[in-house]
């Protein structure tokens, strides 16, 4: 999957040229993390990683790309020559794609040279932010639908056809079952499916004739759209006529309702289908569905078997982006040692966590997730020991994780790329999807609920907390000394 290395913010290139000409190119570690869960929810599904790895493997500048850059008259021949030979040669540590993740945790660690690390920021954030947003939205919709059949119909409403394609991938990871986007079927192996448009019915002389024709053509997947003229006046009656004909052939039908009161209509239609002996006919609904509408309909026990959702699934609806960022966490000093770095902000919440870090997830004996601990990578976390979990922002808050209270602890960041190449096999999308479903199952449902979810605790180890505080104090002392010097 070749992506031009011009897929970068222009300031990366100007900074890179500066580093290049000043001979400033130490080894660095960048972290990708996000600060708040989307949709006011309690979690995020991490998605986009394996596509990012594919893209990084071939991220390079073509001859035309370099000519374009030359034409901007801002780059030296030496630097352009360097770019001509550029390919990503770093290491990537990342949490497994499909995992349930939380704010503040490093989801990806990039270990490479400063110049290389800078170039990939836009590509990395674009892939991970968007796909994680949509996978999370899909999982919320699938949970709201009580794991009912979620059909992704987003192509016509997504942000560009490329946005539609990656949204189909992410949505499948999060919990949709089929896509209407045929290219997503071919590209990712997602099952494709669909019903029929109003134009099908309107193209025929009669609604009945159009239903009959479709059912004969596609006897194993005939979902008849019953709201073109009059849902209760003609649509359902014609669907029942065709349904009974198909039943004699040993086939079942479905109906789709795309307008009207989606709480009232399915109940009436279910009764009519059942009374006609078509108890196995399915009911699909669509029309600007949101997770809130889905949840309300499920709560009201409306008899719906499948949900066709486009707009609010593939765009994120009310929230159209995830706020993932990419920050320098460590750099190589002059003597080759690794120096932890942090972005110090006036707000403690925006102050980053320094150093090369690991994330450990603690589980109880039944496999239930208890809390996550961010540690320095050099720390060993084992069972049979007590751990103090420090609040990431509230300086005086902590709790004790006693050794009797957890059964296992697992490191989440694993090396996925070395020398710019993927380690191991690329997992099939179905495996990533299963990982997401298994991950969700390991959390108490209070963390997953749509409104006011319980806050899952992500904490700092005592060593990481001490490093952070030491760096903060050192930085403040330095600032005070500089101020005093300036006032002399």
Ligand X SMILES: O=C(O)c1cccnc1
Ligand Y SMILES: O=P(O)(O)OC[C@H]1O[C@H](OP(=O)(O)OP(=O)(O)O)[C@H](O)[C@@H]1O
Ligand Z SMILES: Nc1ncnc2c1ncn2[C@@H]1O[C@H](COP(=O)(O)OP(=O)(O)OP(=O)(O)O)[C@@H](O)[C@H]1O
467 phi-psi bin (left φ>0, alpha ψ -120 to 50, beta other): alpha
Q: Which of 25, 60, 221, 287 binds ligand Y (CB under 6 A)?
A: 287
Query: What angle (nearest 5°) sits at the alpha carbon of residue 424, between those of residues 421 and 430?
Result: 115
Nearest to 307 by CA among 288, 325, 320: 288
**In the complex, what is the shortest distance from the CB of residue 301 to ligand Y, in angstroms, rounded to a whole number?**
22
**In the complex, what is the shortest distance from the CB of residue 199 to ligand X, in angstroms, rounded to a whole number?**
11
Site string for ligand Y, 207-246 (x = CB under 6 A): ----------------------------------------
**In the complex, what is the shortest distance from the CB of residue 285 to ligand X, in angstroms, rounded to a whole number?**
11
Furthest CA-CA distance within the chain: 98
**232 close to 223: Cβ distance less than 8 angstroms:** no
Q: Which residue has the tokens 């990481």?
A: 464
Pair of tokens at residue 453: 């979810």
- From ligand Y, ligand Z, ligand X, none, interface partner of 457 (C-beta below 5 to 8 A by class): ligand Z
Helices (H), 95-159: 114-119, 121-144
Q: Which of 310, 316, 324, 355 binds ligand Y (CB under 6 A)?
A: 310
User: Residue 192, SS3?
Assistant: strand
The residue (of 320 and 446) whose beta carbon lies closer to ligand Y is 320
The residue (of 180 and 231) whose beta carbon lies closer to ligand X is 180
Question: By CB under 6 A, what part of segment 43-82 binds ligand Z?
Answer: none
Q: Is 235 one of the binding residues for ligand X (CB under 6 A)?
A: no
- From ligand X, ligand Z, ligand Y, none, interface partner of 180 (C-beta below 5 to 8 A by class): ligand X
- Number of residues in contact with ligand Z under rule CB under 6 A: 9
- Going by C-beta distance under 8 Å and a sequence separation of 6 or more, which residues neighbour residue 114? 19, 24, 25, 26, 27, 28, 331
Query: How much helix, strand and coil, in percent to the nearest 5, is found in the chain?
Result: 40, 20, 40
DSSP character for 231?
Answer: I
Q: Is 194 one of the binding residues for ligand X (CB under 6 A)?
A: yes
| Spatial distance between the Cα atoms of 173 and 130, rounded to a whole number of angstroms | 13
317 phi-psi bin (left φ>0, alpha ψ -120 to 50, beta other): left
- From ligand Y, ligand Z, ligand X, none, interface partner of 195 (C-beta below 5 to 8 A by class): ligand X
Pair of tokens at residue 372: 């996550």
- Number of residues in contact with ligand Y under rule CB under 6 A: 13
- Cβ atoms within 10 A of the Cβ of 430, count? 13
Q: Is 254 one of the binding residues for ligand X (CB under 6 A)?
A: no
Question: By CB under 6 A, what part of segment 371-390 binds ligand Z?
Answer: 389-390
The residue (of 313 and 429) whose beta carbon lies closer to ligand X is 313
Stretch that binds ligand Z, among 72-80, 119-127, 236-244, 452-460 (CB under 6 A): 452-460
Q: Is 202 one of the binding residues for ligand Y (CB under 6 A)?
A: no
Q: Is 418 one of the binding residues for ligand Y (CB under 6 A)?
A: no
Q: Is 449 one of the binding residues for ligand Z (CB under 6 A)?
A: no
Helices (H) and strands (E) in the chain, counts: 17, 21
Q: Is 447 one of the binding residues for ligand Y (CB under 6 A)?
A: no
Cα dihedral sign, 271-274-279-281:
negative
Q: Is 153 one of the binding residues for ligand Y (CB under 6 A)?
A: yes
- Going by C-beta distance under 8 Å and a sequence separation of 6 or more, which residues neighbour residue 384? 403
Q: Which of 43, 59, 79, 153 binds ligand X (CB under 6 A)?
A: 153
- Cβ atoms within 10 A of the Cβ of 158, count? 22
Q: Is 159 one of the binding residues for ligand Y (CB under 6 A)?
A: no
Q: Which of 308, 340, 354, 439 binds ligand X (CB under 6 A)?
A: 308
| Spatial distance between the Cα atoms of 82 and 84, rounded to a whole number of angstroms | 5
Q: Which of 157, 327, 391, 457 binds ligand Y (CB under 6 A)?
A: 157
**In the complex, what is the shortest distance from the CB of residue 391 to ligand Z, in angstroms, rounded to a whole number?**
4
Interface residues with ligand Z (CB under 6 A) are 389-391, 397-399, 457-459
Interface residues with ligand X (CB under 6 A) are 153, 180, 194-195, 308, 310
Interface residues with ligand Y (CB under 6 A) are 153, 156-157, 197, 258, 286-289, 308-311
């Amino acid at each position: 999957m070749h992506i031009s290395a011009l897929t970068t913010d222009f300031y990366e290139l100007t900074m890179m040229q500066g580093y290049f000409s000043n001979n400033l190119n130490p080894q660095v570690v960048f972290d990708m993390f996000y600060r708040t869960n989307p949709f006011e929810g309690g979690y995020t599904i991490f998605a986009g990683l394996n596509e990012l790895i594919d893209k990084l493997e071939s991220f390079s500048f073509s001859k035309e790309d370099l000519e374009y850059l030359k034409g901007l008259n801002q780059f030296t021949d030496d630097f352009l020559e360097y770019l001509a030979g550029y390919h990503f040669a770093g290491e990537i540590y990342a949490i497994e794609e499909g995992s349930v993740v939380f704010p503040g945790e490093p989801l990806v660690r990039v270990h490479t040279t400063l110049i290389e690390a800078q170039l990939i920021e836009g590509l990395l954030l674009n892939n991970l932010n968007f796909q994680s947003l949509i996978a999370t939205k899909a999982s919320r919709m699938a949970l709201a639908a009580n794991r009912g059949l979620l059909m992704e119909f987003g192509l016509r409403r997504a942000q560009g056809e490329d946005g539609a394609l990656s949204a189909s991938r992410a949505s499948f990871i999060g919990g949709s079952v089929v896509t209407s986007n045929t290219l997503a079927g071919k590209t990712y192996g997602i099952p494709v499916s669909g019903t029929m448009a109003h134009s099908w019915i309107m193209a025929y002389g009669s609604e009945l004739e159009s239903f009959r024709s479709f059912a004969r053509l596609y006897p194993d997947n005939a979902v008849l759209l019953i709201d073109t003229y009059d849902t209760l006046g003609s649509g359902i009656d014609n669907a029942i006529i065709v349904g009974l004909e198909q039943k004699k052939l040993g086939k079942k039908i479905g109906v789709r309702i795309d307008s009207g009161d989606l709480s009232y209509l399915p109940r009436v239609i279910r009764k009519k289908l059942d009374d006609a002996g078509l108890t196995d006919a399915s009911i699909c609904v669509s029309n600007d569905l949101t997770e809130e509408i889905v949840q309300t309909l499920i709560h009201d026990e409306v008899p719906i078997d499948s949900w066709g959702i486009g707009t609010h699934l593939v765009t994120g609806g009310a929230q159209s982006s995830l706020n993932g960022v990419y920050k320098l966490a460590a750099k190589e000093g002059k003597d080759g040692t690794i120096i932890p770095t942090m972005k110090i902000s006036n707000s403690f919440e925006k102050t980053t966590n320094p150093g090369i870090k690991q994330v450990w997830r603690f589980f109880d004996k039944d496999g239930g997730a208890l809390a996550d601990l961010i540690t320095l990578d050099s720390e060993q976390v084992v069972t049979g020991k007590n751990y103090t979990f420090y609040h990431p922002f509230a300086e005086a808050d902590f709790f004790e994780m006693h050794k009797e209270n957890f059964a296992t602890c697992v490191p989440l960041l694993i090396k996925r790329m070395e020398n710019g190449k993927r380690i191991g096999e690329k997992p099939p999308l179905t495996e990533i999807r299963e990982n997401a479903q298994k991950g969700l199952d390991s959390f108490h449902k209070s963390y997953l609920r749509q409104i006011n979810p319980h806050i899952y605790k992500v904490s700092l180890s005592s060593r990481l907390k001490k490093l952070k505080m030491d760096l903060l104090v050192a930085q403040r002392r330095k600032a005070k000394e500089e101020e005093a010097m300036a006032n002399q």
